[in-house]
Amino acid sequence: MPHAARNLRVCCAVLLGWLSAAPARGEILINHDGWRFPNVVTSAKEAIRISDRTPLIPGKETITKGYRRADGTHFMTYEIEGRVFGVEFDEDGKPPFEYSILDTDGDGRFESKIPHVKGNKDRAYVPQWVVDHYYAKHPELQKPAAMVQVPAPSLRTEPPPPAAATAGKKPQPPSPEALKQPAP
């Protein structure tokens, strides 16, 4: 029996080594009640950018808004035509983002959570309901054929903006010369 026990230990060690050498695979976590959406009202807005996130809509269609909470958590919302479909979170205040939440069906609940861990190829994307909403608001545009080759989905293209350099400083009032100028 000692020979059988030794063979079993060797097989277990080989199997454990094989499993640990397998590439890391991320997963998308589902919460049917929705993951908690951040409060944009109590957070400081730090950046607004316009970018092109999908080849299914012409031009730069996505508005990205960066916010920072009082606790240092940074988050970015992604919206097209006023519909927010994704949020990325950076809880430690420095790149990279730790995870994203995504409203995959347009019901207002962000039911998909995508951890951004090393080796995770899953990334957030512009859901089809957002594309459909865009073309419903713009009937003058023709929706592209279904044969369009969509690149790998991702909301991430840039690191979050640095923390405001004026944190803790009082804003300065405008100069008297600036106040004398007529409003546009």
Tokens of 109: 């609940």
Rg (CA), the chain: 23
The pLDDT assigned to 127 comes to 93
Model confidence pLDDT, tens digit, residues 33-69: 999 999 999 999 999 999 999 989 999 999 999 999 9
Domain ranges of the chain: 23-140
Model confidence pLDDT, tens digit, residues 118-138: 777 667 789 999 999 999 999
Q: Which of 50-54, 75-79, 127-131, 177-181 shows the lowest mean pLDDT across its residues?
A: 177-181
| Cβ-contact 80, 134 below 8 angstroms | yes
pLDDT tier at 23 (50, 70, 90 boundaries)? Answer: very low
- Residue 132 neighbours by CB distance under 10 Å: 13
Q: How far is it, in rounded angstroms, from Cα 3 to Cα 16?
A: 20
- pLDDT over 90 (residue 79): yes
The three-class DSSP label of residue 3 is helix
The pLDDT assigned to 93 comes to 78
Q: How far is it, in rounded angstroms, from Cα 88 to Cα 105?
A: 18
The pLDDT assigned to 147 comes to 44
- pLDDT over 90 (residue 81): yes
Tokens of 48: 């607004």
Q: Does this model's pTM top 0.85?
A: no
Return the H-helix or E-strand segment holding 29: strand 29-35
Tokens of 8: 């079993």
The pLDDT assigned to 25 comes to 47
The pLDDT assigned to 28 comes to 84
